[in-house]
Amino acid sequence: MSGRPAPDAVRTVACVGTGVIGGGWAAHFLGRGYNVVAWDPSEGAEDRLRHLVAQAWPALTELGLADGASQDRLRFEPDLAAAVDGVDVIQESAPETLELKRRLLADIDAVAAPDIVISSSTSGYLMSDMQVDCATPERTIVGHPFNPPYLIPLVEVVGGEKTTQEVVEWTSAFFTAAGKSVITMDREVPGFIANRLQEALWREALHMVAANEATVEQIDLSITDGPGLRWPIHGPCLTFHLAGGQGGMAHMLHHFGPALESPWTRLISPELTDDLRDAMIAGCEDEAAGRTIDELNRERDAGVIAILRALGRA
């Protein structure tokens, strides 16, 4: 623990890999007032990074920059060891191939001070599979953001087999201090949570295009003008809680239970056991936290109207 600062005392972040995601992370940390040291071995990476940060800056400014936040706090460093030297935390955002991630994490691990947390933006690999070549794997962890990281709040945090619980807690606390919305998972699942959901939708979309069942434009319109307007408000579970009328999720599962066996997607549904039914109902009740169906409906209505207006569509 000697070298690791308190999560809210982090001042300097190394961004290793500065494509769309790594660059977005750099923009986020700069907007929050951190110093950022960036490293990326690809030709022209620094120019692309500075373009991305400059393009993100109006959005960051509109959301409110932290005191002292400045694009001048970005330093591009061509040497990896120099890039991670003296930083408080490292965010890796290299291309999404396992071999490359494995090697890069081992390279970072070899040159970074021993207690500094190395967080990976991987979209779905397990840290257990990525940390295998690290000498000190206990400080490696997944911190998975969403594009663009400077605007979408979510970060999924999950350790590998060799990651310590202390590092899991530190990383969640750091991202929270850095203004992110954190889901801390207590077990590894490929793709984590949001990407499994998003990917299921995306794969069905690809299947539909491949089978000439829908065009790209119809797919996008079906979401922007349909379910996509509800998901930012309540998420898929609480949204369906409201599809059940006053009976909530229990009635919804009763009403649409038979449809779960319909070929409404290429993904086969799980068996709707009593346990699963109970878990869905209890989960929605917990999440509703006392809000009645009428109250949730009003919240959804206000939210949809606000979104339509915000997007200039009402």
Residues in region 170-209 near its own copies by CB under 8 A: 181, 183, 185, 187, 189-209
**Which stretches of 137-228 are DSSP H helices?**
165-177, 194-210, 216-224
Alpha-carbon distance values, 112 to 16, 19, 83 (Å): 12, 21, 9
Q: CB–CB of 35/12 below 8 Å?
A: yes
Dihedral sign, CA of 163, 164, 166, 168?
positive
140-144: strand order across its sheet: 74-76, 35-39, 12-16, 89-92, 117-120, 140-144, 154-159, 181-184
Closest of 58, 67, 138, 125 to residue 94, by C-alpha: 125
Q: CB–CB of 95/123 below 8 Å?
A: no
For the CB of residue 25, give the shortest distance to its own copies in the complex, in Å. 14
Main-chain phi, psi angles of 256, to 5 degrees: -100, 5
Which CB atom, from 64 or from 68, has the smaller least distance to its own copies?
A: 64
Q: CB–CB of 112/137 below 8 Å?
A: no
For the CB of residue 4, give the shortest distance to its own copies in the complex, in Å. 27
Which CB atom, from 35 or from 91, has the smaller least distance to its own copies?
A: 91
Closest of 150, 141, 144 to residue 191, by C-alpha: 144
Please state, as a whole number, how many other Cβ atoms lie within 10 Å of the Cβ of residue 50: 17
Tell me the per-residue interface mask from 46 to 85 with its own copies, x by CB under 8 A, - otherwise: --x------xx-xx--xx----------------------
Which CB atom, from 82 or from 151, has the smaller least distance to its own copies?
A: 151
Examine residue 245 and tell whether it contacts its own copies (CB under 8 A): yes
For the CB of residue 112, give the shortest distance to its own copies in the complex, in Å. 26
Examine residue 248 and tell whether it contacts its own copies (CB under 8 A): no
For the CB of residue 103, give the shortest distance to its own copies in the complex, in Å. 16
Residue with tokens 């086969």: 268
Q: Among residue numbers 210 through 239, which ones bind its own copies (CB under 8 A)?
A: 210, 212-238
Closest of 184, 164, 162 to residue 173, by C-alpha: 184
Which CB atom, from 81 or from 276, has the smaller least distance to its own copies?
A: 276
Cross-strand partners of 15: 38, 91
Q: Among residue numbers 268 through 297, which ones bind its own copies (CB under 8 A)?
A: 268-273, 275-276, 279-280, 282-284, 286-287, 294, 297
Q: Among residue numbers 109 through 148, which ones bind its own copies (CB under 8 A)?
A: 123-125, 146-148
| Position among 152, 173, 177, 250 found at the interface with its own copies (CB under 8 A) | 152
Query: How far is the C-alpha of 89 from the C-alpha of 101, rounded, in Å?
Result: 17
Which CB atom, from 161 or from 301, has the smaller least distance to its own copies?
A: 301
Q: CB–CB of 81/107 below 8 Å?
A: no
For the CB of residue 49, give the shortest distance to its own copies in the complex, in Å. 11
Which CB atom, from 6 or from 216, has the smaller least distance to its own copies?
A: 216
For the CB of residue 80, give the shortest distance to its own copies in the complex, in Å. 22
For the CB of residue 127, give the shortest distance to its own copies in the complex, in Å. 15
Binding segment toward its own copies, per CB under 8 A, in 1-9, 80-88, 161-169, 264-272: 264-272
Structure tokens at 29: 């940390």
Which CB atom, from 43 or from 62, has the smaller least distance to its own copies?
A: 62
Alpha-carbon distance values, 240 to 9, 51, 155, 273, 283 (Å): 41, 41, 24, 18, 12
Binding segment toward its own copies, per CB under 8 A, in 38-46, 65-73, 84-92, 254-262: 254-262
Question: How many binding residues for its own copies (CB under 8 A)?
Answer: 125
